[in-house]
């Protein structure tokens, strides 16, 4: 793990985090400030990948840090603060997504301008892009984001964190509290579904 | 373009993409990619999907980290110091002792081989706490039974004189430093050979999770 927004739960960071957690529990709020600085970008980036916009991501990350602070005394292994925090971020992001579903959401059809059109059989268009609707660059990234939104939670988390955020699979397993093999399976299934959703868009130009 | 490959092959392609195959598996799959157009097309499509996803990395969230941090620390400043959680069973849980006891597991410490001295004792299966260690925190002199427990036991050595290989005894919770000796004496008196010690984790009357010594009430 090398990027600043990616987790690196090394022995060094584990010991550092444990010391900061203990100091925080002893009343040193500045120590929690150090923990926050170490994980702010990761927390916001993770929430952003799951929520799709910066504002919501920052809100969720703030909430996650506060909850982590309040619950710090219940953290069983202070060395695992980072994974624990990001698990809170992920859970809050998923909750935010679920509550957001009651309101208007950006669907694939909206992204692609089909406006809820139906196919010749009268069924709603499944969301497969036609070759003539090929989009480029940022717009295509938006299409990917919209497709990701339609994946089941665990599949989306596993794929986003592994492929986009570059997390090691073992850290994702810890986050999702499942086995490494389960992570691989979630990633596999997520790619399958994305491929089906994106259809011809993925064919070579 | 319709590509038909098996789910197993599709999974293998994913593992190839993620670098999860060992050298032999990878070489075999790459050989197949040379000769199977559908497999090759599926892999190319997978690579394109992966590239499209990785391209999303450039879309970073807009974050004013200084403002974010300041806002967070202002909120933290208004919070009390987080309380450290201590593990303690509430005293009301004392009422659940019979249930806890039913779920507890007895540990057979050792069995003496009949006819031989101490040097031939069979090795311990597991060792419970020493009898001299502090017993459950029941006030001294208070020998009221705290609950009946059903304890299963097994004997690692089975011989004609050893008694039943497995069974169940009823025990009651008491505070007793001499319990181990009592159990040993009782065993020795009633059966020719075995001297099994039974220990069990229990819950004392103050609600602390602790080992508790048990007295055999019936065999």
Residues of B in contact with A72 (CB under 8 A): 82
Q: Where are the domains of chain A?
A: 1-102, 129-205
- Give, for all 205 residues of chain A, the pLDDT tens digit: 334 445 556 677 889 999 999 999 999 999 999 999 999 998 998 888 888 788 999 999 999 999 999 999 989 889 989 888 988 998 899 888 877 754 433 333 223 222 233 333 333 333 334 444 444 666 777 788 888 888 998 899 899 889 988 888 888 888 888 889 899 999 999 999 999 888 877 765 3
Smallest Cα–Cα separation from B56: which of A160, A202, A135, A123? A160
Cβ-nearest to B45 among A40, A58, A202:
A202
Residues of B in contact with A144 (CB under 8 A): 52-53, 55-56
Angstrom distance (rounded) from CA A83 to CA A14: 10
Q: Do A25 and B77 touch (CB under 8 A)?
A: no
**pLDDT at res. B157:** 45
ipTM: 0.71
- Residues with Cβ within 8 Å of residue A163, at least 6 apart in sequence: A187, B50, B53, B54
Residues of B in contact with A29 (CB under 8 A): 73, 76-77, 81
The tokens for B145 are 């039974």
A:B CB pairs within 8 Å: 119
Find the mean pLDDT for residues B55-84: 86
Angstrom distance (rounded) from CA B185 to CA B12: 65
Q: Where are the domains of chain B?
A: 1-85, 91-218
Q: Give the domain A1-102 fold.
A: Rna Polymerase Sigma Factor; Chain: A (1.10.1740)
- For residue A91, count CB atoms less than 10 angstroms from its CB and return exposed for 0-12, middle for 13-18, buried for 19 or more: middle
Q: Give the chain A residue whose CA is nearest to the CA of B80.
A: A70
Beta strands in B102-157 (DSSP E): 107-108, 148-154
CA B75, B80, B84, B88 torsion-angle sign: negative
Q: Do B49 and A202 touch (CB under 8 A)?
A: yes
Angstrom distance (rounded) from CA B194 to CA B164: 10
The tokens for B59 are 């879309």
CATH for A129-205, options being 3.20.20.150, 2.40.33.10, 3.40.50.150, 1.10.10.10:
1.10.10.10
């Amino acid at each position: 793990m090398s990027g600043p927004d990616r987790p690196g739960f090394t022995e060094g960071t584990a010991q550092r985090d444990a010391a900061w957690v203990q100091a925080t529990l002893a009343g040193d709020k500045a120590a929690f400030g150090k923990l926050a600085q170490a994980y702010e970008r990761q927390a916001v980036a993770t929430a952003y990948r799951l929520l799709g916009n910066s504002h919501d991501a920052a809100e969720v990350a703030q909430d996650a840090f506060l909850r982590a602070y309040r619950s710090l005394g219940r953290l069983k292994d202070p060395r695992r603060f980072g994974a624990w925090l990001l698990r809170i971020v992920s859970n809050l992001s998923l909750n935010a997504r679920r509550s957001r579903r009651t309101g208007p959401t950006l669907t694939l059809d909206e992204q692609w301008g089909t406006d809820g059109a139906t196919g010749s059989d009268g069924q709603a268009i499944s969301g497969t892009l036609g070759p003539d609707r090929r989009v480029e660059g940022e717009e295509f990234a938006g299409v990917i984001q919209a497709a990701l939104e339609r994946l089941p939670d665990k599949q989306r988390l596993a794929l986003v964190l592994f492929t986009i955020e570059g997390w090691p699979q073992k850290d994702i397993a810890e986050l999702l509290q499942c086995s490494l093999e389960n992570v691989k399976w979630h990633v596999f299934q997520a790619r399958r579904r994305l491929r089906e959703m994106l259809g011809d868009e993925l064919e070579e130009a | 373009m319709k590509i038909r490959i098996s789910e197993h092959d599709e999974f293998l392609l994913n593992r190839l993409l993620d670098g999860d195959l060992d050298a032999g598996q990878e070489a075999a799959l790459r050989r197949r990619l040379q000769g199977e157009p559908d497999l090759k097309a599926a892999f190319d499509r997978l690579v394109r999907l992966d590239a499209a996803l990785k391209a999303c990395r450039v879309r970073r969230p807009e974050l004013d980290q200084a403002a974010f941090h300041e806002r967070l620390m202002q909120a933290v400043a208004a919070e009390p110091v987080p309380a450290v959680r201590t593990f303690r069973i509430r005293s009301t849980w004392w009422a659940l002792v019979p249930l806890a006891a039913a779920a507890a597991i007895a540990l057979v410490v050792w069995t003496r081989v009949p006819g031989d001295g101490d040097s031939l004792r069979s090795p311990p299966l597991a060792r419970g706490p020493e009898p001299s260690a502090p017993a459950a925190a029941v006030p001294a002199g208070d020998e009221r039974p705290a609950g009946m427990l059903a304890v299963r036991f097994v004997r690692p050595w089975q011989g004609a004189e050893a008694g039943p290989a497995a069974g169940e005894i009823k025990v009651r919770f008491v505070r007793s430093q001499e319990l181990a000796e009592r159990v040993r004496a009782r065993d020795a008196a009633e059966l020719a050979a075995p001297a099994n010690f039974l220990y069990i984790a229990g819950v004392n009357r103050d609600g602390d999770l602790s080992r508790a010594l048990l007295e055999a009430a019936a065999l």
